[in-house]
Amino acid sequence: MWARFWFSMPAERPRPPPFAPPPPPPAPPQYGPPPEPSSVASLYALAGDFLDRAKTALATGGPAGPDAISATSSTRRAVAELTAPASKAAPAATTNDSWTLSSRAVHWIIVGAVVAAVFLVLCVVACFVRRRRRRRRRSRPVLPAAQLPPPMVYHKDGLTWPVLQQATPSEFYFAQQQRPTPPQTSGTFSDAGTDRHHSVDVVAELPTGGGSHSYEQLAAATDGFAPGNIIGQGGFGCVYRGTLDGAEVAIKKLKTESRQGDREFRAEVEIISRVHHRNLVSLVGYCIYSDERLLVYEFVPNKTLDSHLHGHNGPPLDWHQRWQIAVGSARGLAYLHDDCYPKIIHRDVKASNILLHHNFEPKVADFGLAKYQPGDDTHVSTRVMGTFGYIAPEFLSSGRLTDKADVFSFGVVLLELITGRLPVQSSQSYMDETLVGWARPLISQVAEGGSLQALIDPRLGSDYDPSTMMRMVECAAAAVRQSAQQRPSMVQILKHLQGETRADDPDGVFQITTVEESFSSSMESGESAGPRPRRTRRNQGNTSNNGSSEQA
């Protein structure tokens, strides 16, 4: 029954699930300020800012005014913020970072960044200063470098022979590399009527050290360049007497205040080391030490011709000594003009540049102003330099230099030997009288039959040979002619002094001329603009007879 009842009971219905409230809606996202960058990121940003500013400074040539100041101040503020102590909220933030740094590491990173920044600033300043120096150098006029002249040769028996030279100590000097020579407007060889320029000026880059002797050797040779060893001085510097390797030498110490000393130094080394003649002073060596330029010559003990003619110590030169000095000096200058190729123009022939040995053998010295003249050029265009009283009129007026300028200067030296007077005689008048201007009227009187006595040095008296005296007067008169074309060459003067030619030869180059008015010349041609001279033939043996005159 119960089983019937059990099976007859209806099935139990499922119960519904208990009631559950719905989930709340999702909360909206909270937007807050972005997280602050870490210290490493800030340092990277600061370094990048420094690099950008350094590149900008290099591109613009250096730091500039307000922008640079504002950039510097902003950089300082950034560094101050990084190095400031952290706030209370900072530890909570740093504890949430995935990578943290100790305070010591941050400190060293900041120090490194500051050092790098200072280094970059110094680099920028150095670049800026260097660029300014380059601009200043470019703004200066560039001096041309020198070109070495062709090798020296001499002519004999119709053939050309090289000058045999010993190994000179100046080989190091000549081996210096020369810079390209830009065009120049002065100090050049110029061919008349052409635009060719051959620079032989002595403005080359000098080496900073070297030479055949050290500065210490030369200082020891002169007792530390003691004032008691000075044997000569002038605008170029001082000449000291010294002993080097047991031999007496003369050491010229050039002044270093101007660039002219470098020009004279190079000219002396180039010329004297390449020519060898018994009537030219010999170069023993040289020294280049920092800014010092020193030249070592053979010692010539008997001082200069100027000291014997115009000094007050010692007896006056006799006539034989004067004639010997004239012939020897003419022989040395003739070697420079005719036996050397290219031709060498001394440009400063004067009594103080003629040294005398024990036997009064002359030696021409001081080649600091010398110039080369190639054979295909008619003249050298250069600055007027020399000594007043010796400068040729055409060179003084036009700046065109030829070997006839040396002839004129040598004629003044001959007049000094004849008269014993200075080349420029100071007087009470407003103008100084030159020796040439004083002697020309007296020479004209000799041509008209007058006496030589008014022209001759009173210290000689009558102790001279009339024949050789007359030949010297004829050479002097021909050498100081106003027109350069009418002057003889040094070879002709040498031959006439030695008696190899006569004044009444067909060419008549040594015939004494007379003029009625003062000598004057054109500024361009150098020719006489006054009356034409009247040439007078005279008897070679008699200096007082009146010769027959003829109109030239």
> What distance in Å separates the CA atoms of residue 225 and residue 253, rounded to the nearest whole number?
9
In angstroms, the CA 314 to CA 218 distance is: 31
DSSP calls for 471-483: HHHHHHHHHT-SS
Buried b or exposed e, range 9-38, using 16+ CB within 10 angstroms: eeeeeeeeeeeeeeeeeeeeeeeeeeeeeb
Q: Which long-range contacts (CB under 8 A, 24 or more apart) does 130-134 make?
A: 131/61, 131/62
CA dist 100 and 90 (Å) reads 12
Cα 100 to its chain centre, rounded Å, is: 68
- Residue 74 Cα to chain centre, angstroms: 52
SS3 274: coil
Q: Is 253 annotated as belonging to a binding site?
A: yes
Do residues 302 and 386 lie in contact, with contact meaning Cβ atoms separated by under 8 Å?
no
* Rg of the chain (C-alpha set): 46
Q: Is 245 assigned a catalytic role? A: no
Asked if 267 and 173 touch (Cβ cutoff 8 Å), the reply is no
Query: For residues 178 and 375, what is the distance between their CA atoms, to the nearest angstrom?
Result: 24
Beta bridge partners of 162: 153
Q: What is the DSSP string of 139-155?
A: HSPPPPPP-PPPPPEEE
The residue annotated as part of the active site, out of 262, 339, 348, 406, is: 348
**Six token digits for residue 146:** 């020198």
| Residue located via tokens 């090798």 | 151
Percent helix, percent strand, percent coil in the chain, to nearest 5: 40, 15, 45
The encoded tokens of residue 218 equal 């030369």
DSSP assignment string, 359-393: T--EEE---TT-EEE-TT-SEEE----S-TTTS-H
Query: Known catalytic residues?
Result: 348
Binding annotation: 253
Known binding-site positions for ATP: 253
